[in-house]
Amino acid sequence: MTTDKLAVDQGLLNYLIKHIRPELAQKISEKKTIETMIVGLGRQGTRHAQLMMEYGTNVTCGVAPGKGGTYVHETVPVYESAEVAKKKHPDIAVASIWKHYSSAKDATIEVIRSGIPIVVLISEFIPLKDVRDILVEARKHKTILFGGNTPGIIFPPEGIKVGMLPDIFQAQKTDNKIGPKGVTILSRSGAILYHLSDALASAGIAQNGVLGVGGDGAIGSRFIDLVSRIMRYEHTDLVVIAGEIGGMQEELLAQDMKANPEKYQKPLVALISGANAPEGKTMGHAGAVISPGQSYGTYQSKKESLEKAGVTVVNHQRDLIDAVRSKLNRTYFDIEKYYSKMSKKWDARPPVKTWGTLVTNVMPNNLIIRGYPLQEIIAKKGFLETSYLLLKGEFPEEAQLKELEDTAKKAIKQEFTDLKSITISSDISKTLGTLMLVDNKLADFVRLNSEETKIVAYTLGRVLKYFAYILGNLDQLESSSVSETSFSEMIYLGLVKEKNSDTLKVKLLEAMIIACVDHGITPPSAQATIILASTRANYEVAVAGGLQAITDVHGGAGQMAAKFFLSVVEKAEKEKLELDESTFKLISETIKTGKRIEGLGHRIHTQDPRRDVLWKLAEDAGYAKSCVDVSKMISSTFHRVRGMNLPINVDGVIAAITADMGLDPKLAKVIFVFGRTAGLAAHYFEEINTQTQMRRIAFDKATYKGPSIREIK
């Protein structure tokens, strides 16, 4: 079995953290992960956050003022400040800064003051006066600061990178196991660093850490600050520094090596670039410039200083390989296997670009809502609890549920002065959408409240009020006692027009609503809401748009199926037939007329996962009668007639139960639309919180990124 990664507490990064924050290193050992934070989520920061995660880095959160409360790449929470992020995630160990040079100072100082031990300052062109202030804070807090103007740091054995370094660095690998040993590279230049790694890998030399110290004239951590510390790491066999002309980093290191040889117990090889650079001309980096008339900063001065300290100095990759080989006299992995692996990587097609949703995972014969099978939710939870789950990924605590209940009841009781001026159309979705769009109370509540769960609870209360009006039950609903009636009982009252104290019957109606909350991002109603959310349409506009997309073609099957089941029972009674024979005859007659049998078939499920739990609840409530009996035999009977296997779907099951309850068939569609309201709201908030506005949405490229299957406790 191949071990893909080295345990994080055995690697170089944790060693560096332990040197300055031993208590945090202990937590890392316990949690088996190193948490990182990304500050600045512009185009580059956002793109490289994804690449870091793909490499294996635990990007725990992001910081972007003005974007607090949103998510990047669907799963990474974003906060307004590093201070807030650190309070939420106290074990963050590494932060990368991707800010414009004009705001990099304040962002970096805030991160340093939050106590994060390793800071990678990607930003370049930071004014020297700002760098000075950053360095003062870094030294005060004992922060290891890489940069500015660094490509980042990468630790191949642990599979962790922070920054923009490509996935080309090779870890030790023996007997199919990743090991911690190798050389550690420190480089002022990003481009040279990439070439060094490739050159060493081609000779079988592994890297346990590759550190871009930064190319600006003033940086956080110099060679003199890092080399001796890294040499104390037991698994570093040799250190390579990639220097260049300009500044005194290399000379200062050489001076310290001669003065304190006991600190430098590992071999050191230096590659110095810029042998032919003219004086006074910047060569790539702000720090790579030789001032005229000075005796330091030149290629010659650096070479001589390092060689006097016993360092092998080279000017070419070929010479570097020879020097490293001679000092190590070993390789770290099978070179042929390395080339084979890299060849496959280079020849591989670019991955298909996808986007993610955390709401619902639609699989054959299973529907997963935030990790929980929908059939379990139907059996054990209420509508408000389910709406909270759709938004937050967990069920509410008791106090939170009470708050939702109070909010939904408040929505029912608040007046709607224009309600009775709206003409009730035969199209329930059209009327519902119209009511939502002209409801000033709903618009005001959304505008004045930032808590999404409250907004959705209020919406569900208002939608129940709309349905009560459409069904002619408004007076009974509005006259109900808020203190004595639960929201579940209000649902029954608003839809059925009677108060029912039988908890099983109340639960049955609510369960059918929950069964319809969501079916992923592919249904037209969800797509309509997501597209409107992408344009940043108002919440009520986007949800109303999704609801109005629920037509007789999409979402109207239940109403027609209920009429069919009632017709089967009526035919059986009238013609003195058994139910199975009546079903056979009516299916045959219907098909001959060219009409569909509604409530059958599904493009994904061969057995709808919601079917059995709804039948069971109907039996418990005493509503599993003739129509439910027909629903249980209709698939096999349809096969007798047409020779086709079409399973009954959730629309058919709900239709049968509502018919047995003696309810108007149109209530089957009402149930579907009411339930779907919660799902559409969840998709709206997910879109605006996790995706860029006006994006091109490829719905077939969506993937589920939520929790894996879990049980309700």
Which tens digits make up the pLDDT trace of 638-696?
A: 999 988 889 999 999 999 999 999 999 999 999 999 999 999 999 999 999 999 999 99
Is pLDDT above 60 for 153? yes
- Average pLDDT score over the chain: 92
Which pLDDT band, with edges at 50, 70 and 90, does 114 fall under?
very high
For 548, phi and psi rounded to 5 degrees?
-75, -15
Taking only the tens place, the pLDDT of each residue in 392-422 is: 999 999 999 999 999 999 999 998 866 667 7
pLDDT digits over 1-52, tens only? 345 899 999 999 999 999 999 999 999 999 999 999 999 999 999 999 999 9
Distance CA 128, CA 581 (A): 89
Percent of the chain, pLDDT > 90? 79
Q: Which pLDDT belongs to residue 158?
A: 97
Q: What is the pLDDT of residue 523?
A: 94
What one-character DSSP code corresponds to residue 593? T
In the chain, what are the domain boundaries?
34-145, 149-354
Mean pLDDT for 139-164 is 96
Class of domain 34-145: alpha beta
- 655: closest CA among 568, 550, 584, 557? 557
Helix H segments across 33-168?
Answer: 43-55, 82-88, 101-113, 128-140
Structure confidence at residue 85 (pLDDT): 97
Confidence of residue 291 (pLDDT cuts 50, 70, 90): very low
Whose structure tokens read 């939702």?
404
Question: Letter for the amino acid at 23?
Answer: E
Alpha helices in 643-665 (DSSP H): 650-660
Residue corresponding to tokens 């109207």: 556
Pick the CATH number of 149-354 from 3.40.50.261, 3.40.50.720, 3.40.50.300, 3.40.50.2000: 3.40.50.261
Assign 281 a pLDDT band (cuts: 50, 70, 90): low
Which pLDDT tens digit goes with each residue over 501-544?
A: 789 999 999 999 999 999 999 999 999 999 999 999 999 999 99
State yes or no: pLDDT of 374 exceeds 70: yes
Domains 34-145 and 149-354 share a fold: yes
Q: What is the pLDDT of residue 304?
A: 93
Q: Are 406 and 461 in contact (CB under 8 A)?
A: no
Residue 293 has a pLDDT of 47
683 annotated active-site: no
Q: Which of 48, 141, 285, 683 is catalytic?
A: 285
576 contacts 709 by C-beta, under 8 angstroms: no
Task: State the DSSP H helix or E strand holding residue 409, giving kind and residue range, or none if neither.
Answer: helix 398-413
